[in-house]
Structure 1
Amino acid sequence: MNYSIHFVFLIVCSKCIAVNINRIVVPALVELGTESVILDCDYNTGEVPGPGLVIKWFFNGSTGLVYQWIPPLQPQVIGLLKGKVDMSFKISDEPLQAYRAIRIINPGTHLSGNYTCVVSTFIAEDSQTRSMLVYSPGKSFHFDQEKKYVFLVTLKCVAEYLYPRPVLTILSKGKPLERAITDMRMDSWGMYTVETTALIHDDDVTSPWEEFVCVLNLPLANYTTNRTTVYYPGLMPTHSASIEVKKPMEHQANSSTLRLECTLLVTLFLSIYFTL
């Protein structure tokens, strides 16, 4: 009978001092350039807080400890988040809740990943995980046309400084151009630059004009935007091509000037010769 009473007592006590995470708040999507984000871990420690309370945040697994708070000590920032956390930030005035959350300053794309909050005492432990993606919609995005030949136009769509991996598509009448070519590059910071080009023949345009659409998509960020350009078949080559055409004419003009100068010199010499 004594063992039964002891067992019931342990169950009641464990409920009094249990650790439970009510909710974890981690923004799923954060645009690059955002001033700050807050990761919160709302928990309770039962009626009687158990000894040895520790709050930890991990990045991408149990080996990526980035934040630790052992009340009543000051929190510690470790590893990836070092220098990126507002150490004066408090989410609550309660002594056992004050520094459960972390305020990250100017989050970069390298902070994209899974964040796990672990709350533990000497007796119990609880954890929850959420993911955060810091995305970049790019610094520039433009869609141009260049015509070097009478019946052909090149459509060029370029977007720079993107994250995560983008998809760039040129549409004609709502359908992707099958002959479009895409070139994608990634810099040392993990940012993408993508360029898609397509060559269009005037015979492919069956109306007086056609609107082409370039669609930029970041699938993981659920982000989409576009640019349009209108092409009129039959137009003459663009100005850049005209400059190339004029170069031989300029050379010819320079040659004519030389011949004229030579003729004047010969005439002057003969005039002086016959005078003598």
Structure 2
Amino acid sequence: MCTPVLLVFFILNGILGQAQNEDLVISWEQKLKLDEFRKIMEPNLPHDYMKKDIYLVKWLKARNFDIPAATKMLQENLRWRQETKMDTIFNEDWSETNTQYRFALDGCDRHGTPVFIIFVGEWDMRKAVLAGQSDKMRRYLDKCFEEVATVLRNMQENGSNATRASLMLDAASLSISLQFCPGCIPLYLYLVQTWGTHYPNLFNLGVVINSPDFLVPIWTNLIKPFSPSEIQKIVDIYGRKKSVWRDALATKYGIDWTTLSHEMGGDGPDPVDANDLRKAGYQYECSSS
């Protein structure tokens, strides 16, 4: 005799308002695993935000709710954060790097998800490598992801349902000589690896726009095979035909390009760069318009 199964869903604690995405809803079985995961990890979590459901469930989702695998992943991340002093990374002087390697917040999509942009086409990776600053660039990438996570936490504290951000990489002006020198490729590999390993489920998507033709084989053959599976699934690359990627932003990703900044071809306000985000204490509110 078959026993009917009642699937019960729970809205995760720690987010105000009504749940609007799958990150906020889990099944009864997943709730039990979340409770068990918390009992294992809570004594080792140094910050209150790490003890919230919405933080813990990201690690479980990254390992398909395999508790031992998620435990190992989070424990390794805690060690990494301690070894690299991630809790004080914002205290370091990033003003010059923020200006030379632009990273900005360019509004929100129609679901209230913040949209971050890396102007990767402007990033002179070759200059950083030749100046012996590869390690600093790796730390800068970690800093950028930490900023996204901090903005999201602050939005949640202020009542937003945003649990992930959207990431766009503007590849306009990208060149092999400046961005893809032999010493540059490891930096891009680090970008996708630290994203997937240390900041799982941080982004809904990673869309590369204005890409030159040579970028596709570089991504396909040199970067994608070494990227975490989560990253491989959500990264899409579009060429320099604006009508194509603009249509994709609107129809596939829910991002109305007309509301983006003038720099991105829209009618919205200027993007908030990393220096201004820092001055604002990483507080951001999506426009209601």
* TM bracket, shorter-chain basis: under 0.3
Q: Larger relative contact order (C-alpha < 8 A, sep ≥ 6)? A: 2
Q: TM-score, normalization: structure 2?
A: 0.21
Q: Which has the higher helix share?
A: 2
Which structure is larger by alpha-carbon Rg, 1 or 2? 1
Q: TM-score, normalization: structure 1?
A: 0.22
Q: Which has the higher strand share?
A: 1
